[in-house]
Amino acid sequence: MTACLLVIDAQESFRHRPFFRPDDVPAWLAAQNALIEGCRKAGVPIVRIYHVDGPHDPANPFAEESGHVRPFDGLAAFDADATFIKHRHSALVGTGLDVWLTQHGISRLIVSGIRTEQCCETTTRHASDLGWQVDYALDATLTFDMVQPDGQPLTAAQIKARTATVLQGRFAQVCSAAQALARLPALEAA
């Protein structure tokens, strides 16, 4: 077994942030759920990663005390092969994920989840630098509009385009969820 799906920060915490907008959620969920279902059918392990940070207060949606550090509503139910809690942007910092991947002979990661340009991109860059091959399933990542330092808006679509541009061919193979799934039989036979 060489491939593994990472479902990064696909958690309810984001619904409780002021920047949350539901506009792109249906398309993301469709792609994310297709990846989960396709990987499960192919026997590819699925790793769930949650982001938890302080303060440890029920009002903080990323604190476990909030009750929001749980699967995003609408996410396909799955039994994770492993679950990791992270406190940094990269899922490979201080979680033990790298050890688990190595112990399970994983050589290729399929990255998905929330947010496109933050935890998903950071994990991708880190994984590539550590020697993993990465399929970055762009449509199976979700992000939200931002404001640039000069006050100009930056749309979620622009953020995704920028992420695809900087990752492609340098840190990952940027693809769709369907393309990542189509590559699985060839990957698993390799």
Model confidence, pTM: 0.96
The answer to whether 156 touches 32, Cβ cutoff 8 Å, is no
The span from the CA of 175 to the CA of 140, in Å, is 10
Helix (H) or strand (E) holding 146: strand 146-147
Contacts from 178-182 at CB under 8 Å and sequence distance 24+?
178/34, 179/135, 179/137, 180/35, 180/110, 180/135, 180/137, 180/140, 181/34, 181/35, 181/38, 181/39, 181/42
Q: What is the pLDDT of residues 135-175, one digit of tens each?
A: 999 999 999 999 999 999 999 999 999 999 999 999 999 99
* The two structure tokens encoding residue 153: 């808006």
The span from the CA of 142 to the CA of 31, in Å, is 10
Q: What is the pLDDT of residues 34-46, one digit of tens each?
A: 999 999 999 999 9
Q: What is the pLDDT of residues 102-138, one digit of tens each?
A: 999 999 999 999 999 999 999 999 999 999 999 999 9
Domains of the chain: 3-189 (3.40.50.850)
